[in-house]
A and B are shown apart, each in its own frame.
Chain A
Amino acid sequence: MTQQTNSFQTDTAKVKGLGSSKSGFGHWWMQRMSAILLIPCGLYVLFGLAGAEILNAQEVVNWLSQPVNAAVTLLFALAGSYHGALGIQVVVEDYVHNHAVNLTLRYLTQIMMIVMMMTSIFALATILFG
């Protein structure tokens, strides 16, 4: 913990590849990168849907037929699925100490993420290209 060796390595270089899984830094980093992407995308979708007097599905489909709206919405759904799955993994690691249950929940989280990504790609491709 309190190693005081002088080193020219940056703090980041020191933590990469450490820990029992060797991948903790990458997980932490992608949680942050997806969060940064979600700020503009999330606000765009939120205000796009709130401002557009949406009362019925046809109006929403019209809104989503604009390529930029569709692209940002898809990015939001993909980044959100990824970020949420990374986040749930941390929660499972913190609270579920039974190894088999832990692995099962993390497996289901990943499958769910992939299904959500495929579904949102399919949905927006269908709306855009018929």
Chain B
Amino acid sequence: MNKPQRPLSPHLQVYKFQFTMMMSIMHRITGLFLSLGLVIFVYWLYRLATDQNIANQMIGFFQTGLGMTLLYAWIFAFAYHLCNGIRHLFWDVGKGYSIPAVYRSGYMVLLAAVLLTAVVYFLSR
């Protein structure tokens, strides 16, 4: 059998925790979480078109404590995934690969995601 010459994934169990790996796994978790959110969003669009009572019940749920928590988790996930996605796109064109740059863009993404979430919060007051 040929021994693969490709790089292997790091073994997470023996890896020291690092800021950059948290940023990376968060992109995956937010992506999956947003996929679930989009299912609910599309169902809501369907109900807006077919039965406004149910659409209103859904709005009502997202105004309860649990609903608001979930809603803002989704808004933050979207803000984070969007900003970190832009970071990914810069890497894809070959920019920002030095270790200091990776940390700097990581902090910028976190800050931008928090700010974007806050802007949405104050806009919808």
Q: How many residues of A contact B (CB 8 A)?
A: 39
Query: Closest CB of chain A to B15's CB: distance in Å?
Result: 16
Q: Which residues of B contact A127 (CB under 8 A)?
A: 48-49
Tell whether, in the assembled complex, residue B41 and residue A77 are in contact, meaning their CB atoms are under 8 Å apart.
Answer: yes
The answer to the question of A58 belonging to the interface, with a C-beta cut-off of 8 Å to chain B, is yes
Q: How many residues of B contact A (CB 8 A)?
A: 34
Q: Which residues of A contact B75 (CB under 8 A)?
A: 46
Q: Whose C-beta in chain A lies nearest to the C-beta of B124?
A: A50
Which chain A residues have a beta carbon within 8 Å of chain B's beta carbons? 1-2, 32, 35-36, 38-39, 42-43, 46-47, 50-51, 53-58, 60-61, 64, 73, 77, 80-81, 84, 87-88, 91, 112, 116, 119-120, 122-124, 126-127
Which chain B residues have a beta carbon within 8 Å of chain A's beta carbons? 5-6, 28, 31-32, 34-35, 38-39, 41-43, 45-50, 52-53, 55-56, 59, 75, 78, 82, 85-86, 88-89, 92, 120, 123-124
